[in-house]
Amino acid sequence: MTTSQVNAVVCDPASVISAIESRFSCRAFSPDKPVLREQVDEILRIASCAASSTNTQPWKVYVLQGERRDALVAKVCAAHDATRVNSSLTAEYGEVDGYYPAEWVSPYIDRRRHNGLTLYGHLGIGKGEKDKMHAQAQRNYRFFDAPVGLMFTIDRVMGRGSLIDYGMFLQTLMLAARALGLHTCPQAAWNNCAKIVMPFIDAGSNEMLVCGMALGYADETADVNTYRTPREAVESFTRWI
């Protein structure tokens, strides 16, 4: 840590807090409002300041824009459509490494269900409306129309602690995006198509897909962007010893 970092004063704490509190999973972006490479580079530079155990910095980032972004979208959307016809294909496309637990338990399954039900309710998608559900799920694979798609990988040799480091990197990246007026949506959905994504981005066989992310300017007219998830009260997850 340099002297300037030690002595640095956060002159506008409200802006820091605002960046944190205004971050949300944006599900509708303005496709015609481009994000410059210089902006992406700056966001990644700031994100690289994130803490990591023994400074291992385990993150690897792949940026997709333009034709390459569109090509991946087309490829994965076609696979997503195919799995609807033949569910056995899901195993052929997805990553072996599990993102979610093998067995869900309370309270996590309750929060997950609540999130899905309230989001779909907000979108006017009722129970059993499979066409609408499929279309909404596929919005993930279109990066919610964001002009920039990010894929994050990690070397398989790294331990679970490195995934904690990765979480700090991703959060720092999302807050840096907010500081520059952009929004993001971290996406675990891409892990379901990891076997398509990884060769497409020319990732090494030693790498594992962590998640994807949409990056761009939020569509301020989209009703879905008014949806907010609840947060647990501090006293529900904190014990003073």
pLDDT in tens, 81-132: 998 988 888 878 877 667 888 899 999 999 999 999 999 999 999 988 999 9
Q: How many helices (H) and strands (E) does the chain have?
A: 10, 4
Judged by DSSP in three states, 84 sits in: helix
Q: What pLDDT is recorded for position 4?
A: 81
Share of the chain above pLDDT 90, in %: 84
Kindly indicate the confidence band of residue 186, based on its pLDDT and cuts at 50, 70 and 90: very high
Q: What pLDDT is recorded for position 188?
A: 94
**Residue 241 exposed, middle or buried by CB count within 10 Å (0-12, 13-18, 19+):** exposed
Task: Please state the rounded mean pLDDT for residues 192-207.
Answer: 96
CATH code of the domain occupying 25-97+140-224: 3.40.109.10
Residues in the chain: 241
Contact in structure between 162 and 53 (CB atoms under 8 Å) = yes
pTM for the model: 0.94
Per-residue pLDDT at 62 exceeds 80: yes
